[in-house]
Amino acid sequence: MEKSGRGMDNRRMLAKLAVIIVLMFGFGYAMVPLYRAICEVTGINVLTKVDEDAARFARNTQVDTSRTIKIVFDANIQGPWRFRPVQSSMEVHPGELATIVYEIANQQDREMAGQAIPSYAPMQAAQYFKKLECFCFSQQDLKARETREFPVVFVVDPKLPKDVHTITLSYTFFEVGGRSAGVRPAGEEDRS
Residue-wise pLDDT tens digits, 11-62: 899 999 999 988 888 777 776 676 666 655 555 555 556 666 776 776 777 8
Residue type, 130: K
- Please, which residues have CB within 8 angstroms of residue 45's CB and are 6 or more apart in sequence? 39, 117, 119
Using an 8 Å Cβ cutoff, are 101 and 140 in contact?
Answer: no
89-92 and 69-78: which strand pairing? antiparallel
Alpha-carbon distances, residue 71 vs 89, 91, 120, 132, 170 (angstroms): 5, 6, 10, 16, 10
**pLDDT-derived band at 190, boundaries 50, 70, 90:** very low
81 three-class SS: strand
Among 6-10, 88-92, 137-141, 161-165, the least confident range: 6-10
- Please, which residues have CB within 8 angstroms of residue 185's CB and are 6 or more apart in sequence? 139, 179
Residue 187 clears pLDDT 80, i.e. is over it: no
Res 128: pLDDT: 93
Burial of 16 (0-12, 13-18, 19+ CB in 10 A): exposed
Residue 69's CB: how many other CB atoms inside 10 A? 22
Exposure string for 71-85, b = 16+ CB within 10 A, e = fewer: bebbbebeeebebbb
Residue 181 clears pLDDT 70, i.e. is over it: no
Looking at the DSSP assignment, which residues form a beta bridge with residue 100? Answer: 152
